[in-house]
Amino acid sequence: MTTSITRTVKVSVDEAVPNTRRGGDIRVTLSPKTVGCTSGFGGTMTLAPGDHVTEHYHPYSEEFLHVIEGELRMAMDGEQIDLAPGDSLLVPIGVRHRLVNVGDTTAKCAFHLSPLAPRPELGHVDTEPAQHPEQANPSVGGTP
């Protein structure tokens, strides 16, 4: 069977809109909005030394995190988990989590969340104030 690709399937991180609402530099590259996918969304995250992503949880999605560079510590429901380059972590649905760069260099990660929440505004629940509350949540829903 032969198929042809009829939509955008490749997105450069440089094209993605940076979001710092919860901390770090989060860039959603693959999402319903960017490529029309239907099962989840993902992208990259960069955290400067000492920076963190404020605590939150996902009521509908698992989060998959893969560390590319740097030393991170994830608190999941209060349990501390240290992460180094090459480590991958699953954050189960409903688990409160907070990520901190505990190293002295910039940390870089790739992430994916799946399945999608019924509506984008239901995807994240903040459990501590966002670092930059004036910013909107990363835009993942809609059509490309």
Q: What is the DSSP string of 64-88?
A: EEEEEES-EEEEETTEEEEE-TT-E
Question: At residue 85, does pLDDT exceed 80?
Answer: yes
Place of tokens 């939509």: 7
Residue-level pLDDT at 109: 98
CB crowding 68-81: b at 16 or more within 10 Å, else e: eebbbebebeeeee
Q: What is the CA radius of gyration of the chain?
A: 15
- pLDDT score of 49: 98
Kindly report the number of other CB atoms within 10 A of residue 6's CB atom: 7
Q: Rounded to the nearest 5°, which phi and psi values hold at 121?
A: -70, -10
Mean pLDDT of 65-85: 97
pLDDT of residue 139 exceeding 90:
no
What is the per-residue pLDDT across 86-134, written as a single tens digit (0 to 9) for each? 999 999 999 999 999 999 999 999 999 999 999 888 999 999 999 999 9
- For 20-70, how does the pLDDT look when each residue is reduced to its tens digit (9 = 90+)? 999 999 999 999 999 999 999 999 999 999 999 999 999 999 999 999 999
C-alpha torsion sign, points 66, 72, 127, 44: negative
What does pTM read for this prediction? 0.91
Confidence band for 143, pLDDT divided at 50, 70 and 90: low
Return the beta strands (E) in 6-144 as ranges. 18-19, 25-30, 41-47, 52-57, 62-69, 72-76, 79-83, 88-91, 97-101, 107-114, 125-126
Q: What is the pLDDT of residue 5?
A: 79
